[in-house]
A and B are shown apart, each in its own frame.
Chain A
Amino acid sequence: MTGAEAANTLFVATILVYAAAMFAFALEYAFDKRAPKRAEALVAAGGSAETETPDETAAAPISPAAARGAGRLGLILTYLGTGALAASIVTRVVYTGRWPWGNMFEYTVGVALAGMVCWLVLVQSKQVPRRLGLFATFAVTMVLGTSVRVYTEAGPLVPALDSYWIIIHVTAAIAASGVLLIGCVFAILHLIKRRYDRRVSDGKSIRFPLNVAERLPDATALERLTFKIHVFAFPLLTFGIFAGAVWAHFAWGRYWAWDPKEVWAFIAWVVYAAYLHARVSGRSAKANAPWIAILGYAVMLFNLTAVNLVFNGLHSYAGV
């Protein structure tokens, strides 16, 4: 097996393991009835807020204990998958003899890894309950699935990419994108939970997609967490953009020229700055803040995909 084949095998293994983890988390999410229905602090101090509440309505196919077991298994699988993903990247590095952020496929895989690591850190530090791994693994698996569509044979780099700035600039951009992915997931979860709460307090019925929100943590806690993640990611994003400008100075002779990639990075940065402002600009602006965060990630995704594929800028030479 060549290095490239080994890397690809590990990559496929990652997707399969993540899919299994997602299923395990789904079991815990659905059937661990310990999770209180409303007003749960994300993880209350000492975890004492979680008390078993017997479910009166339907007999669950598996017991809460079994569901928790599934959750533990899901976490182990997530670690395994993340290890396989990291190993796949390292294999590529060994095989190509260069830093692994050379084209769009590699970049996307990096984002997936950064996102998963971010989520694992959140779980390990007890900032989020494990069962929400359902959404994290879902988002990351989607990213990995998309990356397959832009798969490129591992190859050498064009001269401008042959610089230590690739390590600094692209790594920062990837880390920021990965963390922001998780931030976006929590922004969406917050909005869903908020909607759910409003319908409950209005006494309206809750039908299928929305009833999933029942076991989400408290909306305020989700919002706070969304903010924390963005607070962590924003300086990373800022640093990534600055490092890109420094690199552009050395490689192309100017630090900023409104190349399409630069334009959209600027837009993303400004949107995230708007998000940080919205949170302190009064009630209604704060209520809209999660939408701005989601808009920010839409811009990030646009920059990653459409700008590479559609626009013809200096950055497009990195190869699809």
Chain B
Amino acid sequence: MTATPAKQLRSFGRRWWHQLTSMRTALLLLLALALAAIPGSTFPQRSISATDVTAYYERYPDLAPVLDRLWAFDVYTSPWFSAIYLLLMVSLVGCIIPRLGVHLRSLRAAPPDAPKRMEILPYHRRLDGQANETRAQAALKQQRFRTVRRESDDGTVTIAAEKGYLRESGNLLFHTSVIFILVGVAVGSLFSWYGNRILSEGADQAFCNNLQQYDEYGLGAYVPETSLPSFCLQLDSFEAEFTNGGPTAYDADVTYTVDGAEDTYNLRVNHPLNIDGANVFLIGHGYTPVVTYTDRYGNTETRTQPFLAMDPALNSEGAFKFPDANYNPETGEVDPNAEVGFDAILVPTYDDATAMLIGSEPELNNPVLALTAYRGDLGMGDGLPESVYSVNEEQITAGDLEQLNDTVEAIGVGDSMELDDGSTLTFDRVEQYAVLQVRHDPGGPIVLGGAMILLAALLPALTVRRRRYWIRWNPDGTVETAGLNRNDYDGLEEECDALTADIAPDTEPTPPRTEEPIGSTS
């Protein structure tokens, strides 16, 4: 007889389903998942730092595109990583559901009867004297065994007892919580958003929560750009504390406005501010030098420019650009080739003795700006994105910008640098900025809940022992007891001996006659 194609398909499907939901497959998938996670730590990841990926492209122009096609820069969203964990999830669900059925049934069923030949069980004792049934019931009850009494026609009475159901309950709950956590992660990636923002001190630097105002942001697939809660935030003052050249505390006083209502908060690392479901985190800080440029016609412009730290001593780099400089009040025109820009390094603690342009202390003890001036076309109007932290190098190499000083000029607070046309740049003061991250992740609470369930379920799943115990009064007047461990733990013998002694305190139990019980786990 040949099977119909439909039947063949079904049996094929069943075989594969069986294969997929087997423990061995789960084991292999777990190891595969561990292996697949490794590249994410060896290659830069877009989700962590897009700039690192760009840098990698520059360093390995040939290799990078190939790696990119293999998703090496997006490992955790790559098809191959997803395939492994999705298979694992399917296997997990396929594992949980049948086990859940079995477990629910066993929770309602009575403990099974003892085998005919009790001596094959790992624990077995024969009692000579009388064992009291009431005592047995009481002892088992006290140990919180679930018991059932069976009487057969020949007069044999058996009490079957079982306990440790919590192990399987915990195990199932544990595996379910893994799925729960993954659901939370998925919700997070679809519905969360974040924005990073460098915020300098002062009311004029305040920003409001919309994407245009972030230096960098990310939106989940299902977050409309307009759905962000509206609030505004301003940094009133910032303080960093240093000990032995290392920062020990950041302290930011902020004022925030929601629906016209104003409030203040002391924002610190590890103490985020929650506004309307969004958390504001303080994740870093740096210096904002303030300078004033007075051009050759006497027009002044002030710049408050956050600088990027280059090292732990907060030597920072940045640039001041004045594309509207040299407005001629007589002609009413701006000379497009007399724009002015400065590349600068801020040294927080300048050592006058060594005159090194790299300080070794992060505190603002003797701040100095090291400046290189350029004049010409800054190239800012061409619409291309460009760094606010440096003067456009391409304009310099193209000869559109002229470097005005050959050696770097260092000026302290209150001092000025004078250019050949009589214009000056004055170093007014240094303010601080905080690096803020605003983030909303509705998946977070789900993940946290799942994690807590996972931990709580893990303990019984690992430590509770599932075991059975039987007492049988044979028609010939003898009494037998037996025990069986349903998972691999020791201590069965001690526990059963104690029970046996409890049931028949007056008699010495005879240890098993057989040499080595089969399947002993005690």
Interface residues of A (CB under 8 A from B): 45, 155-160, 162-163, 165, 224, 227, 231, 234-235, 238-239, 242, 245-247, 249-260, 263-264, 266-267, 270-271, 273-274, 276-282, 285, 292, 299, 307, 311
Which residues of B approach A to under 8 Å, CB–CB?
22-24, 26-27, 30-31, 33-34, 37-38, 40-42, 45, 47-48, 75-76, 185, 194, 243-244, 246-250, 268-272, 279, 281, 283, 437, 439, 441, 444, 447-448, 451, 454-455, 458-459, 462-463, 488, 490, 494
Inter-chain contact A155/B246, CB cutoff 8 Å:
yes
- CB-CB nearest in chain B for A306: B41
Residue of chain B at shortest CB distance from A157: B248
The one of A252, A267, A292 in contact with B283, judged by C-beta atoms closer than 8 angstroms, is A252
Pairs across A and B, CB under 8 Å, 5 listed: A162-B248, A235-B458, A245-B447, A263-B40, A278-B27
Question: With A and B bound together, what is the CA distance between A247 and B271 in angstroms?
Answer: 10
Enumerate the 9 nearest inter-chain pairs by beta-carbon distance, A residue then B residue, closest first.
A253-B281, A281-B23, A253-B437, A274-B30, A260-B41, A263-B41, A163-B270, A156-B243, A159-B269
Residue numbers in B under 8 Å from A158 (CB-CB): 246-248
Inter-subunit contact B454/A253 (CB<8 Å) = no
Residues of B within 8 A of A266 (CB): 34, 37
Determine the distance from Cα of A239 to Cα of B75 in the docked complex, in whole angstroms.
Answer: 25
A-B contact count (CB 8 A): 134
Q: Give every chain A residue within 8 A of B490 (Cβ-Cβ).
A: 224
Whether A258 touches B244, Cβ cut-off 8 Å, given contacts A159-B250, A160-B269, A253-B283, is: no
A238 contact set on B, CB distance < 8 A: 454-455, 458
**Complex Cα–Cα for A266 and B283 (A):** 24
Q: Which residue of B lies closest to A303 (CB)?
A: B41
Q: Closest A-chain residue to B185, C-beta based?
A: A256
| Residue pair B458, A250 in contact (C-beta under 8 Å) | no
Contact A162 B283 (CB under 8 A): no
Q: Are B248 and A271 in touch, CB under 8 angstroms?
A: no
B45 — nearest CB in chain A belongs to which residue?
Answer: A258
Q: Is A253 touching B439 in the complex (CB atoms < 8 A)?
A: yes
In the complex, the chain B residue whose C-beta lies closest to that of A231 is B462
Inter-chain contacts of A281 with B (CB < 8 A): 22-24, 26-27
Residue in A159, A259, A277, A307 whose beta carbon sits within 8 Å of that of B26 in the complex: A277
Shortest distance in angstroms between A219's beta carbon and chain B's nearest beta carbon?
15
Interface contacts beyond A159-B269, A258-B47, A260-B41: sample of 17 additional A-B pairs, CB < 8 Å, sorted by A: A155-B243, A155-B246, A156-B246, A158-B247, A159-B247, A224-B490, A235-B455, A245-B451, A246-B448, A251-B281, A258-B40, A263-B37, A267-B37, A277-B30, A281-B23, A285-B24, A292-B31
Whether B34 and A271, one on each chain, are in contact in the complex, defined by CB atoms closer than 8 angstroms, is yes
A156 with B455, Cβ < 8 A, contacts A249-B444, A254-B441, A281-B23 known: no
Q: Which of the listed residues A157, A247, A311 has the most CB atoms from chain B within 10 Å of its own CB?
A: A157
Contacts of A165 in B (CB 8 A): 270
The chain B residue with its CB closest to the CB of A299 is B34
Question: Is B488's CB under 8 angstroms from A259's CB?
Answer: no
Partner of A252, one of B271, B281, B441: B281
Given contacts A159-B269, A227-B488, A249-B444, contact A257 B27 (CB under 8 A): no
Which residues of chain B are within 8 angstroms of A292 by Cβ–Cβ distance? 31
Chain B residues near A224 (CB, 8 Å)? 488, 490
How many angstroms between the C-alpha atoms of A156 and B241 in the bound complex?
A: 11
Q: Which residues of B contact A245 (CB under 8 A)?
A: 447, 451
Contact partner of B48 (CB less than 8 A), chosen from A157, A258, A264, A276, is A258
Known contacts A242-B451, A255-B447; is-contact A285 B279 (Cβ 8 Å): no
Shortest CB-to-CB span from A187 to chain B, Å, is 16
State in angstroms the CA–CA spacing of A263 and B38 once bound together: 7
- Say yes or no: A160 contacts B24, CB within 8 Å: no
A162-B269 contact, Cβ under 8 Å, with A249-B444, A273-B30: yes
Contact of A271 with B31 in the complex, beta carbons under 8 Å: yes
Residue of A nearest to B280 (CB): A253
Contact between A155 and B30 (Cβ–Cβ < 8 Å)? no
On chain A, the residues within 8 Å of B271 by CB distance are 250
Closest partner residue, chain B, to A252 (CB atom): B283
A263 CA to B24 CA in the complex, in Å? 24
State A266–B272 Cα separation when bound (angstroms).
26
